[in-house]
Amino acid sequence: MALDSLVDLLDLEQIEVNIFRGRSPSDWRQRVFGGQVAGQALVAAGRTVPADRPVHSLHAYFIRPGDPAVPIVYTVDRVRDGRSFTTRRVSAIQHGKTIFTLSASFHHPEPGAQHAVAMPAVPPADTISRPEHEFFASNPIDLRFVGPARDDPAGLRVAGTEHNLVWLRANGDLPDDPLLHVCLMTYASDLTLLDSVLRRHGLSWADGQTSGASLDHAMWFHRPFRADHWLLYDQESPTAAGARGLARGQVFTEEGELVVSVVQEGLVRTVT
C-alpha cells in the first residue's frame, strides 16, 4: 500500500454530526490492522476538536477483530469541552457491534517545566538499508531496523538486544496537518511494538508457532513532530505473563527530542 493510499484511508467520510465512516485496504489481511483502526478513530476524534488543541494522549481497547470487507463506522462522544482540555470518546462499529474504543484528550499548549530522557546512541537512519521483504517494500511506512530485520531466517532479529530499535518515517512527503502526522504515528506505533515481547523469548511471528493480537494501546504526545521525518522508535518489554506481554516504546526525532511515549499489552500465544 502506497503512502497516498494510507493518507486516503485516514481521510474519513463524515456521514452525520459526530459520525464518520472509514474503510480498509483491499489486501490479504483477514482482519483490520490495529494501527489502522486506532489512527482512524483518532482522526474522528480530532475532527470534532479545534485545531489549536492538539491531542496529548489516547487510551484504546481492541475488543473484536475488524472485518476488512465492510466499512467501519466511528461515533464520537463529546465528553467535555473545558477551558484547557477537551475529551472525546470514540467507538468503532461493524455489523452492529463495537470492535474498538478510544478515549483521547486534547490540550491547548501552555508553558511549563520541561525535561526528557536521552535518545539511545544508534547509527543514522540513512546508513541502514531497507529490508527487501515484500512487506516492507510495499509498506507506506519506511522502516529501518537497527539490527537484523524481522524477516531474517530463523528469527535472527529476536536474538539481539532486549530493545527493539527501529527508524521509521512516512514513505513520502506529507502536508502540514498536525493531526495527520499524529494519526500516522498512531498507525505506525502498532507495526513493531509486540516484537519486543517476542525477542525476550527467541520467538518470531514467522516461526509457525506464535500468534498474537493487540489488546490495548496508550500513547502520549509530548511535543510536535513530523511523521515524514526520521523518528527512532525504541521498544522494549518489561514483563509477560498469562499469554499477555507488555511492551513500551519511546519515539525520538533525529535531533534526539522525545516526542511520543507508547504502551501496549498484547496477546501472545505459542504452540508447543
Residue given cell 493487540 in the structure block: 214
Residues constituting the chain: 272
Helix (H, G, I), strand (E, B) or coil at 234: strand
> Which entry of 103, 105, 235, 264 is annotated as an active-site residue?
264
Respond yes or no: is residue 204 known to be catalytic: no
d(CA 36, CA 212): 17
Per the CB < 8 A criterion, the answer to whether 208 and 226 are in contact is no
Respond yes or no: is residue 57 known to be catalytic: no
> Which entry of 24, 40, 142, 190 is annotated as an active-site residue?
190
C-alpha cell at 141: 511506512
Torsion-angle region of residue 199: left (phi > 0), alpha (psi -120 to 50) or beta? Answer: alpha
User: What Rg value do the Cα atoms of the chain yield, rounded?
Assistant: 18
> Which entry of 91, 214, 235, 250 is annotated as an active-site residue?
214
Respond yes or no: is residue 81 known to be catalytic: no
Task: Tell me the torsion sign for CA atoms 164, 192, 195, 89.
Answer: positive
**Active site residues per annotation:** 190, 214, 264
